[in-house]
Amino acid sequence: MNEKQLVGEKAVEYIKDGMVVGLGTGSTAYYMIKKLGKLVQEGLNIKGIPTSKQTAALASEHGITLVDFKNVKQIDIAIDGADEFDADLNLIKGGGGALLREKIIANAASAFIVIADSSKAVKKLGGFPLPVEIVKFGADMTLQKIAGLGCEPRIRVDGNQAYITDNGNYIIDCDFQEIQSPEELESQLNMIPGVVENGLFVNMAESLITIKNGVLVEETR
Ligand code: 5RP
């Protein structure tokens, strides 16, 4: 079993009957959703709230009933992957372009559990270019403002066109190399008009399931 499968399948142990579950996006979340689908077929009664159209399709394919914010009073748990995590369980997310819905759902959930293979562990966040979702209007100006925070921003492309999120926006990948203060940068970015949200998830993860020295470990903040 590969690391993504190990951590993804482990995470479903947190899910109990009757829960509303935030379903993450990406290749690690894929294994969690697939396993959850199996448990649902065996009788587990849960509802899922997806972080992307891609995850909605995957979850439906695996027999998971989906709900949206109109139909739920609370989200009990959200489980999602990460592109990087540090020792404080701060994260960079959005490699899959779903950071806005991921952050809304992680923030709304009573517990947010991260599943990440060992390659995602870093001393300092920023080696992975930080994804920032921006509206199309005034994008050139927004890019300049983002660059002013000390990075090299570039509009994400899909083939020869700009990548468009589920929310109809652009993703800007920002190469900061090393982020000294994730908390400060998270709010500085969100202060720029045109920025919708960024992929820094600071003080949000309650637990992390990962692999250390070949062993599955669970860390709590
Ligand atoms: C999607 C994300 C993913 O969680 C992140 O990119 C990790 O992906 P993977 O599990 O495929 O490595 O933030 O927007």
CATH number, domain of 194, equals 3.30.70.260
Q: How far apart are CA 116 and CA 110, in angstroms?
A: 20
Q: How far is the CA of 185 from the centre of ligand 1 (A)?
A: 20
pLDDT tens track of the chain, all 221 residues?
899 999 999 999 999 999 999 999 999 999 999 999 999 999 999 999 999 999 999 999 999 999 999 989 899 999 999 999 999 999 999 999 999 999 999 999 999 999 999 999 999 999 999 999 999 999 999 999 999 999 999 999 999 999 999 999 999 999 999 999 999 999 999 999 999 999 999 999 999 999 999 999 999 98
On whether both 78 and 138 belong to a single domain, the answer is no
The whole model's pTM is what?
Answer: 0.97
Q: How far is the CA of 114 from the centre of ligand 1 (A)?
A: 10
CB-defined site of ligand 1, < 6 Å = 24-28, 80-83, 93-99, 102
Structural domains counted in the chain: 2
83 is in an annotated binding site: yes
* CB count in 10 Å sphere of residue 41: 11
Expressed as residue numbers, the domain containing 40 is 3-121+202-220
Q: Measured from the CA of 81, which atom of ligand 1 is nearest?
A: 4
Q: Measured from the CA of 117, which atom of ligand 1 is nearest?
A: 12
pLDDT at 221 (0 to 100): 85
On whether both 138 and 194 belong to a single domain, the answer is yes
28 is in an annotated binding site: yes
Q: 59-65 — which CB contacts under 8 Å span 24+ positions?
A: 59/23, 59/33, 61/37, 62/33, 62/34, 62/36, 62/37, 62/38, 63/37, 64/23, 64/33, 64/36, 64/37, 64/40, 65/40
Known catalytic residues? Answer: 102
With H, G, I as helix, E, B as strand and everything else as coil, classify residue 207: strand
